[in-house]
Structure 1
Amino acid sequence: MTNDLQVLIVDDDFHVGRLHASYVEAVPGFAALPPAGTAEQALRVVHAREPDLILLDVYLPDALGLDLLRTLDVDVIMLTAAADAASVRKALRRGALGYLIKPFTADQLTRKLRAYARYRRLLANQSAVDQDTVERALHALHPGEAPGSGRARSATETSVLEALEPGTQKSAADVARQVGISRATAQRYLSALADDGAVEIHLRYGSTGRPEHRYGPVGP
């Protein structure tokens, strides 16, 4: 879909790059560009395609990914076998939003991508943000940490969350009928819960080919 976040995988191993691309393609809301195998190729793709996110390896045949990172004005998550603390510190210091050590599972990468999507939604189309939004965006990238705002849920928000039974996916209209609120109100609460990491968003394609958002609780 045209609204999917475009992801470029940069890895010197073609087969690994294709594997990671398949992981990306399996996550709703993301689309993988053809992987790049060198820093030079990655820069050409960045200039031509302007990806939203780069999944970057440290060890490339023509440069270190950490040196390439310093030149990129694109969101980056490191996917690498470099497990030394110095590389982690340097990656974060140079702007990487995350660091995933190989080998990792599809589920681990999926969690990183969903966290990144929440981060993007929180900061999308806003000319100015307040401190609470900044804290929620940072928390979205690192959901294992306690949210900085520590906000309490309203009664309606709690009812919306409780309407999502484990193992099920519902539309905003389904939730609205169950809770007794308007669809627009349900949509607003569901989006806020998704931004907080309490709800997962799934896409279901109907007969018209148009995707429908479905919502489910985040599993344990």
Structure 2
Amino acid sequence: MSSTYTVLIVEDDFHVGRLHASYVDAVPGFRALPPASTAALGLKAVHESAPDLVLLDVYLPDATGLDLLGSIDVDAMMLSAASDPATIRKALRRGALGYLIKPFTAEVLASRLRGYARYRRLLSDSVTLTQDRIETAWQALHPAATTSGPKSVSATETAVLAALAARPDQSTAEVAAAVGISRTTAQRYLSALADDGAVTIGLRYGSTGRPEHRYSAATD
């Protein structure tokens, strides 16, 4: 990925905050800021660091995460043990992009973060939005509800994006060699990523005059 999204975790349990930060840092294209342990520290960190995304617990010592959610103008997802319908409805009503009930695995959070990255790319300021693109962006935030493929699909997609981030302007064959997949598989992933706005396509004309498609990771 060509952009790095910064993530602030607001979590009162020090060990859980560090664990979730390690989950975030393991996802290409994401970087965790030092976790905040209270709503007040979370609000201060939002103002000082301007994170792209806040991962917010409901239970905090000085206020509820729902109170903080209603006072910040930044993308946020809830990570909480609170599972009652009223809390979840209120979180979504106040603008949470997603809600994960603790405990969850690193892969579950990674899937949501990859979906968030796709959501951001699809709603990039550089494009004129269509209804279909808006719907696709919303679905990207909820991958468990919209995809049933194996985890290796997401891992391959991440590897393709990482290869393009390391060296832009590659052919299908070059991407296939870098990732260690067949050319046909590389073409399928590149086409899907291009449809999602994650990859841009250019043309290079060779000596024969026949253009070759070249791929690069998209920028916001």
TM-score by length of 2: 0.70
Q: CA offsets per residue over residues 136-195 of structure 1, 9 Å max, x none?
A: 111111234459xxxxxxxxxxxxxxxx9x97955563525646xxxxx99973533566
1:2-41 counterparts in 2 under 5 A?
3-41=3-41
Are residues 119 and 167 of structure 1, via their aligned partners in 2, closer, same or farther at CA, if it must alter by over 3 Å?
closer
CA RMSD of superposed structures (Å): 3.2
1:138-157 counterparts in 2 under 5 A?
138-145=138-145
1:56 and 1:76 in contact (8 A); partners too: yes
The equivalent of 1:112 in structure 2 is 112
Q: Structure 1 regions of 5+ residues with no counterpart?
A: 148-163, 180-184, 197-212, 215-220
The equivalent of 1:175 in structure 2 is 172
2:193 matches 1:191 = yes
Give the aligned residue type for 1:18.
Answer: R
SS in 1 for 2:70: helix
Q: CA offsets per residue over residues 76-115 of structure 1, 9 Å max, x none?
A: 0100010111111000000000000011111111111111
* Pairs aligned (count): 177
Bigger proportion of residues as helix: 2
Q: Could you say which structure has the greater relative contact order, defined with CA pairs below 8 angstroms and 6 or more residues apart?
A: 2
Distance in 1, Cα, partners of 2:43 & 2:141: 25
Distance in 2, Cα, partners of 1:16 & 1:125: 35
Give the aligned residue type for 1:189.
Answer: S
Distance in 2, Cα, partners of 1:27 & 1:55: 15
2:14 matches 1:42 = no
1:78-89 counterparts in 2 under 5 A?
78-89=78-89
Distance in 1, Cα, partners of 2:38 & 2:146: 38
The equivalent of 1:161 in structure 2 is none
The equivalent of 1:136 in structure 2 is 136
Distance in 1, Cα, partners of 2:13 & 2:45: 17
Give the aligned residue type for 1:85.
Answer: P
The equivalent of 1:96 in structure 2 is 96
The equivalent of 1:73 in structure 2 is 73
Q: CA offsets per residue over residues 194-216 of structure 1, 9 Å max, x none?
A: 669xxxxxxxxxxxxxxxx89xx
Are residues 127 and 194 of structure 1, via their aligned partners in 2, closer, same or farther at CA, if it must alter by over 3 Å?
closer
2:2 and 2:29 in contact (8 A); partners too: no
Q: Structure 2 regions of 5+ residues with no counterpart?
A: 148-152, 165-169, 175-182, 199-215
Q: Give percent identity, aligned residues only.
A: 56
2:58 and 2:66 in contact (8 A); partners too: yes
Are residues 125 and 188 of structure 1, via their aligned partners in 2, closer, same or farther at CA, if it must alter by over 3 Å?
farther
